[in-house]
Amino acid sequence: MEETWFPPRERVEDERPHGWKYAQRVSRQEQTGLADEFAPILPGPGASDYERYLRTDELLSLQKTPDERAHHDELLFQTVHQSSELWLKLAGEEMEVATEHLHAGEIASALRLLRRAVLCFRIVTQSLDMLELMSPWEYTSDIRPVLGHGSGFDSPSWNRVRHAAPELGEAFHALRRASGLSLADVYVQGREREDLYQLAEVLTELDEWTTTWRVRHYLVVERSIGGEVVGTQGTPVELLGKLIERKLWPELWKLRTELTNLAKEND
């Protein structure tokens, strides 16, 4: 196919904060020879509906320009943090809406959203790999000083997830209690109560991934700034290691011990 469907683009200087943009040199009409019936129809800034809908002008100006950066790697650092905020925002929202579904007794609809929340955590966990491509010396000497008192403890989206968790767990327990089942019953009778069993397992999966994120994050921190120092808000890094033991729903983990003991009793 001819390249005309992919208009040649050039990098041009731009007065906007992020310094440059890609300009389309040839109009769509000239490229395709077709009437421009797909011209943008959405309101807002941007040359195309893609840019208008996604608000790419604003989005791409949320990172420091090369001139504003203390170190080139600030773009990497901001990209990982900003995208993590978005994925965790989605995870938190899906958890909240899943809770509403459970209040209405709609387990299947809740499962759909909770699977997404799990995937959000897998994505943010994987994106931590990128931070290990920064030099620890350059991070600590050039980037850390420009973070002020910025700390992950103040991450709005992480805190949204943490705050959504208790009510979500409670909504699950309310449903199982309404069926007259203990937590162990949900597992022992898992084949008869497939819906409650699946729900308990997706919650466990979500809990496992928040812990996996914490483990990875702890290792990234130790690899970047060391394990015997304090964070930007004075928190000893060791304390982060202790947070790994915190579960969203500890009862879902204690249950496994109960099941093992129950199986032994039945032997």
Contact call for residue 165 and ligand HEM (CB under 6 A)? no
* Beta bridge partners of residue 23, listed in sequence order: 10
Per-residue contact string for residues 167-206; x = within reach of ligand HEM by CB under 6 A = ----------------------------------------
Among 240, 248, 252, 255, binds ligand HEM (CB under 6 A): 240
Stretch that binds ligand HEM, among 11-19, 52-60, 178-186, 236-244 (CB under 6 A): 236-244
Residue in this structure with the two tokens 């060791």, named with its chain if needed? 238
Among 84, 99, 198, 211, binds ligand HEM (CB under 6 A): 84
| 8 A C-beta contact, residue 200 and residue 187 | yes
Q: Which is nearer to ligand HEM, 17 or 241 (CB)?
A: 241
Among 53, 153, 194, 251, binds ligand HEM (CB under 6 A): 153
Contact call for residue 241 and ligand HEM (CB under 6 A)? no
Residue in this structure with the two tokens 């003991």, named with its chain if needed? 261
Contact call for residue 92 and ligand HEM (CB under 6 A)? no
C-alpha 24, offset from chain centre: 33
Among 231, 248, 252, 255, binds ligand HEM (CB under 6 A): 231
Contact call for residue 151 and ligand HEM (CB under 6 A)? yes
Contact call for residue 152 and ligand HEM (CB under 6 A)? yes
Stretch that binds ligand HEM, among 26-34, 47-55, 168-176, 223-231 (CB under 6 A): 223-231
| 8 A C-beta contact, residue 148 and residue 231 | no
Strands 9-13 and 20-24: antiparallel
Residues in the chain: 267
Helix (H, G, I), strand (E, B) or coil at 44: coil
Category of 44 on φ-ψ map: left (φ > 0), alpha (ψ -120 to 50) or beta: left
Contact call for residue 155 and ligand HEM (CB under 6 A)? yes
| 8 A C-beta contact, residue 230 and residue 151 | no
Q: Which is nearer to ligand HEM, 44 or 226 (CB)?
A: 226
Give the CA angle between residues 197, 254, 106 to the nearest 5°.
25
Count, residues near ligand HEM per rule CB under 6 A: 23
What is the DSSP secondary-structure string of 128-180? GGGGGGS-HHHIIIIIGGGGTT--GGG-HHHHHHHHHHHHHHHHHHHHHHHTT
Contact call for residue 224 and ligand HEM (CB under 6 A)? yes
Q: Quick one: DSSP state of residue 55?
A: T
Provide the binding-site residues for ligand HEM, judged by CB under 6 A.
80-81, 84, 128, 131, 151-153, 155, 158, 214, 217, 220-221, 224-225, 231-233, 235, 237, 240, 243
